[in-house]
Structure 1
Amino acid sequence: MDANYIDSYYYPRFLDSQFPSPSFPGSPGGFPGSPGGFPGSPGGLQQAPTSPPPAFIPQQQTATPFAVDPGAISLCLFRNTYIWLRNGSSFWYYPIFVGPRSVAGFRWNGRFWTIFGIDTRRIVSFTCF
């Protein structure tokens, strides 16, 4: 499975005006309570963070043998989060949406934030600030 896996049903295109807002059954224009966008995002769009993440790499927390619980990582929404993947990669992340099997947000590439989605089964551990 690709590292950029995105659960397309739960991860609508939302970051650029060229992408239309999703419509889900029973919810005209988008998610319930937030026409055309994500809950808590003004105007239905969510922008990348305007500043870089912290300049340090945190110590890895105890890794889990199973998939990361979406409920646990949802506590890191809209916060700088450091993520360790099963393949050994690690990076700063700024999650803005958590679905049943995936997380969407922005990944720091060392110079700027880029949109990034990941399957929660690929995450070994994470810590947020």
Structure 2
Amino acid sequence: MQNYFFNPFLTAWQQPPFAPPGMSPFGPGNLPLAPPPSEIPMQPYKIDPGSIRRCKRKYTYIWLKNGDSFWFYPVYIGRKSISGYRWIGFWWIYYGTDLKKIESFVCV
């Protein structure tokens, strides 16, 4: 994991994608304000870049190919990657991953 620090000599587009707690690097209103649902959904979909687009700004449960699974709130879905906020049990952290690493998902 790479540590990011603000550098006043870089322009805004060169700064790393971080923001103060409670703020999103993609603008206000993207950070989920509540915890995810307490129950894990049971009918996952296989990953497809087109199919996961409908999950943008929705609570999404993700199963990774390495066996990890977690609640996720996507705010960016690209052709090869996804980023947003990952629930770690008591708060959201900013997280991103390659779409190839996702085994399946369900958004609610």
TM-score by length of 2: 0.73
Give the direction of change, closer, same or farther, for the CA distance of 1:52–1:16 in structure 2 (3 Å limit).
Answer: same
Aligned to 1:99: 78
CA–CA distance in structure 1, aligned partners of residues 48 and 16 of structure 2: 23
Counterpart-to-counterpart distance in 2, 1:13 and 1:105: 15
The answer for the alignment partner of 1:108 in structure 2 is 87
Q: Match for 1:98: what amino acid?
A: I
Distance 1:50 1:61 in 2: 24
Which residue in 2 is equivalent to 1:58? 41
Aligned residue in 2 for 1:16: 19
CA RMSD of aligned residues (A): 2.3
User: Residue by residue, what CA displacement relative to the aligned partner does 1:25-58 show, whole Å, maximum 9, x if unpaired?
Assistant: xxxxxxxxxxxx86xxxxx445421100000111
CA distance in 2, matches of 1:53, 1:125: 18
The share of aligned pairs that are identical, in percent, is 43
1:85 equivalent in structure 2: 64
Count of aligned positions? 91
Contact preservation (8 Å) 2:60, 2:105: yes
Instruction: Indicate the residue corresponding to 1:73 in structure 2.
Output: 52
Query: Which has the larger share of strand?
Result: 2
Match of 2:8 in 1: none
Deviant stretches of 4+, over 2 Å: 12-15, 44-47
TM-score, with length taken from structure 1: 0.62
